Amino acid sequence: MKRFIAILFSVIVVAGVPLRAETDEEVEAHKLVLDLTGAFTNDGFKLRDGHWTGMVKPRERALIAVNLYAGNQYWFSAAANSKAKKIAVELYDETGRPLTTDSYNDGERASAGFSPSSSGQYFVSVGLLEGEPTTFCLVYSYK
């Protein structure tokens, strides 16, 4: 984990969502993350019908803004294709303060669970800890 501290605070900036077909790598990452979220669905979590796919490089992170409601429980899950050896999902509050989450890591798949006590904006970070530049897919479940 110490290596993760050294991750540069760089992000993939994606301006807008171009209208295009998903690449094979994006489809693969999406499929992998949906497999992971099955466990949450079995536990009563609803999978939001929406996802984000992007690229992440070693020692970089992708940062995605989400808006959460106090009282709900959330699991944020990401999966990358086989070029990734280890990814991490972390959560930050609206001021950028890191949050303590339940977490699950399985190489190229990871999840972070959180129950906000305050409604508002939060940030989900998907970082590539080990491996080559890769495509990842992020989804979330709530109940």
Partner 1 sequence: MIFRVPLAALASLAFFSAAFATEPAPLPPDLLATAIKTDSLTIPTPGELFAALEKPGKPDWAGQYRTPIPMTYRNRAQIALNLGGLIADGFIAVEAQDSQQVKNIGTDIIKLAKALGVSENVLSRGNSINEFAENSEWDALQEELEATQNEVKSSMQSHRDQDLVILVSVGGWIRGTQVVSASVIKNYDEQSAKVLRQPAVVNFMHSKVNDVGEELKNEPLVKDVSTQLMAIEKLDTFQAGKAPTLDEIRKLNEAVTKLMEEIQNKADTK
User: In 14-133, at which residue ranges do the beta strands (DSSP E only) sit?
Assistant: 46-47, 52-56, 61-68, 74-80, 84-92, 102-106, 109-114, 120-131
Minimum distance from residue 123 beta carbon to partner 1 (Å): 6
Q: Which is closer to partner 1, CB of 14 or CB of 132?
A: 14
Q: Which residues of 81-97 are buried (b: 16+ CB within 10 A; e: fewer)?
A: beebebbbbbbebeeee
Q: Are 79 and 38 in contact (CB under 8 A)?
A: no
Q: Which is closer to partner 1, CB of 25 or CB of 109?
A: 109
- 68: exposed, middle or buried (Cβ count in 10 Å: 0-12, 13-18, 19+): buried
Decide: is 27 part of the binding site for partner 1 (CB under 8 A): no
- Interaction with partner 1 in 82-121: which residues (CB under 8 A)? 90, 92, 94-98, 100, 102-106, 111, 113, 117-121
Decide: is 130 part of the binding site for partner 1 (CB under 8 A): no
Quickly list DSSP for 98-109. Answer: B---EEEEETTE
**Which range binds partner 1 by CB under 8 A, 6-14, 22-30, 128-136?**
6-14
Residues that bind partner 1 (CB under 8 A): 1-2, 4-5, 9, 11-14, 17, 19, 35-36, 38-40, 42-43, 46, 48-52, 54, 62-72, 90, 92, 94-98, 100, 102-106, 111, 113, 117-121, 123, 125, 138, 140, 142-143
